Amino acid sequence: MTDLKFNVAQLLREEMGARRDYTFTEAALVLDEQLILRDISGSVRFTRTATGVWARVQAEGVVQLLCVRSLEEFEYPVTVEFADQFHSVIDIFSGGGLAPPIEEDPFFLNELHMADIGKALREYTLLELPLNPVSPAYRDQPIQYTVQSDGLEAETEGDVGEGEETEVSLEALKAWAERHNRKNK
């Protein structure tokens, strides 16, 4: 659960275009089963719209990621900026239910007119994270690969079953690996 919920009931009673600004801090926000956004700080501006509020959010925090090169964990600073609509589900004046918006996968205000920006922050933060994170310690180092064929032995004709065609020789691969290793030294 997150405390990144803001009551916008009073804003919903005002005319379109009315605004409210808030700053926030949060110790942690669970992003998925493995990732947690920590030390979160930011600001949000809510603007009254015809169907709810428009939230413009700027936030930053830190996520512990696994480096794809070293397989070591490192702290990755994240800065997220997004703007999205939060639709009302209950009319603030009549208390009646409202028709759902036509957009796909919208954010909603709850029955108490609370905007949970934590849910939106979670989704937008996941979009900001790199697919293949690299620790700053390894970011500027060139990648070197070594191809070794020790222990590989060519199959003899007796090992090959009838009708099976296999390439017994790995000489071309070995030659390529030797050229590649000489070039990178």
Binning pLDDT at 50, 70 and 90, where does residue 182 land? confident
Contacts of 171 (CB under 8 A, 6+ apart): none
- Specify the higher pLDDT residue, 177 or 110: 110
32 has a pLDDT exceeding 60: yes
Joined tokens for residue 35 = 């990732």
d(CA 48, CA 94): 18
The pLDDT tens digits of the residues spanning 41-86 come to 999 999 999 889 999 999 999 999 999 988 999 999 999 999 999 9
- Specify the higher pLDDT residue, 159 or 177: 177
2 has a pLDDT exceeding 50: yes
- Specify the higher pLDDT residue, 136 or 160: 136
| Length of the chain in terms of residues written | 185
d(CA 53, CA 45): 9
Contacts of 82 (CB under 8 A, 6+ apart): 56, 57, 120, 124
pTM over 0.75: no
Query: Looking at beta carbons, which pairs linking 41-47 to residues 24 or more positions away fall under 8 Å?
Result: 42/80, 44/6, 44/117, 45/19, 45/20, 45/21, 46/6, 46/8, 46/11, 46/19, 46/20, 46/21, 46/22, 46/115, 47/17, 47/18, 47/19
